[in-house]
Chains A and B, each alone.
Chain A
């Protein structure tokens, strides 16, 4: 079975380490904040200018001056700090954020990512994604492995305009966890009940399959 959104969030949260400053993109990455283990401290960065972003506010706590990068109302945790957009991207570009998690339309085995623009369709803009992928060393892309019609999104070469070049080393899809090494995908884990053959069939880019590919384990 392909992973659910919650399972994707749960699996990606296993990449968190105590003391990490983390930037979570909109969508599934944001959900991962719900799965921080209780014995672990992480601080969430929001690129519009927060370190120490907290959960959504209670109705009576809503403050129009406190929003996240997705323009949603949020709260600040104790010890949070606020800064300008130029300071925010200085810390992102400067490599000070420990982990960045974001979505994508396509990734290829050269580590290229396409996530902001489909030619011919509406162009909304890249927001902070280009800065995030060029600044972070430790990036995990969360995405669906293939389209509903079975067309792979893990390619030999991205077909859409790039968000970043040669910057992605780890991809979590609804079917598998893969690393990108030496110009190819390496299959590290598979979703429960998903066969290696199925993943091979839906991966268009070069793929190395180690002898052992463990299934992901989820505590429910």
Chain B
């Protein structure tokens, strides 16, 4: 790498430095906007004892679900973990620890982690199992719980277009958790559909500036659909 050029050419290099026991923050919602090949590279490397923060944990065949068969995941921080039989089995057997976190709280934990905010008060989860053991404080007659920020050793994410400096544009709902996930990792790795030259992206249209991006790689994407629903006319 040289100067601000974030582009790398191999997946091995993309995940270089990832070792057992690390925490990874991942973008994606279901199978939408997931860094498909970065996940496959983690599977190939066989890194174990991982803590993964991601809204979901993939399906049996796709996404983060791929890391289950070789027991690479120790703990998952997610809002919804359905649609994955292997995950259910490992959860029921106590092989995998699950910290269920409300979706908005998870997004804000990642945002705070990247923004230098160690914790924040939110009304979400007060008076529910999520609030148990957490500090409660009242503001203007309403009760809030204290939630701590999330940071990762790595973050992995997917964007649509990136320039060589790592300035990013996301596409449609594949944006989801990706921008915040990228900011919350000590080393952030982003897989994009297209890499363009510096200056090709309009500065006003950039969704996430390259300052947050450490490694950029061009991928090819299967873009699997979980619930293909259509209307007839």
CB-defined contacts of B111 to chain A, threshold 8 Å: 86
CB-defined contacts of B107 to chain A, threshold 8 Å: 84-86, 88-89
A55 adjacent to chain B (CB < 8 Å): yes
B104:A89 contact, CB within 8 angstroms: yes
In the assembly, what is the distance between CA of A55 and CA of B103, in Å?
Answer: 24
A163 adjacent to chain B (CB < 8 Å): yes
Given A71-B30, A124-B81, A82:B103 Cβ within 8 A: no
A37 adjacent to chain B (CB < 8 Å): no
Q: Which B35-67 residues sit within 8 Å CB-CB of chain A? A: 55
- Chain B's closest residue to A117 (CB) is B129
A134:B125 contact, CB within 8 angstroms: yes
In the assembly, what is the distance between CA of A104 and CA of B186, in Å?
Answer: 39
A93 adjacent to chain B (CB < 8 Å): yes
A67:B81 contact, CB within 8 angstroms: no
Q: Would you give the shortest CB distance from A61 to chain B, in whole angstroms?
A: 8
- Chain A's closest residue to B29 (CB) is A48
In the assembly, what is the distance between CA of A131 and CA of B125, in Å?
Answer: 8
A71:B227 contact, CB within 8 angstroms: yes
CB-defined contacts of A128 to chain B, threshold 8 Å: 79, 102-104
B126:A62 contact, CB within 8 angstroms: no
Given A64-B223, A85-B103, A57:B108 Cβ within 8 A: no
A212 adjacent to chain B (CB < 8 Å): no
B201 adjacent to chain A (CB < 8 Å): no
Q: Which A29-75 residues sit within 8 Å CB-CB of chain B? A: 46-50, 55-59, 62-67, 70-74
CB-defined contacts of A163 to chain B, threshold 8 Å: 128
Q: Which of A55, A64, A72, A124 has the most CB of B within 10 A?
A: A64
Given A65-B33, A89-B104, A93-B123, A84:B179 Cβ within 8 A: yes
B80:A57 contact, CB within 8 angstroms: no
Chain B window 157-182, contacts with chain A (Cβ cutoff 8 Å), 1 for yes, 0 for no: 00000000000001111111111100
B105:A131 contact, CB within 8 angstroms: yes
CB-defined contacts of A88 to chain B, threshold 8 Å: 104, 107
In the assembly, what is the distance between CA of A130 and CA of B107, in Å?
Answer: 13
Given A64-B224, A85-B29, A124-B80, A134:B126 Cβ within 8 A: yes
A contact patch SS: loop
In the assembly, what is the distance between CA of A166 and CA of B173, in Å?
Answer: 32
CB-defined contacts of A165 to chain B, threshold 8 Å: 126-128
Q: Would you give the shortest CB distance from A47 to chain B, in whole angstroms?
A: 7
Question: Total contacts A to B, CB within 8 angstroms?
Answer: 169
Q: Would you give the shortest CB distance from B99 to chain A, in whole angstroms?
A: 10
A162 adjacent to chain B (CB < 8 Å): yes
In the assembly, what is the distance between CA of A82 and CA of B232, in Å?
Answer: 26
Given A71-B227, A126-B80, A128-B103, A161:B129 Cβ within 8 A: yes
Q: Which A65-102 residues sit within 8 Å CB-CB of chain B? A: 65-67, 70-74, 76, 82-86, 88-89, 92-93
A123 adjacent to chain B (CB < 8 Å): yes
Given A64-B225, A134-B123, A166-B127, A85:B177 Cβ within 8 A: yes
Chain A window 113-145, contacts with chain B (Cβ cutoff 8 Å), 1 for yes, 0 for no: 000010000111111111100110000000000
Given A49-B173, A73-B228, A165-B126, A122:B88 Cβ within 8 A: yes
**Further contacts, 16 of them, CB under 8 A, given A65-B223, A84-B176, A89-B104:** A47-B104, A49-B176, A56-B229, A58-B230, A67-B29, A67-B226, A73-B227, A82-B175, A85-B29, A85-B180, A86-B104, A93-B123, A125-B82, A128-B102, A128-B104, A165-B128
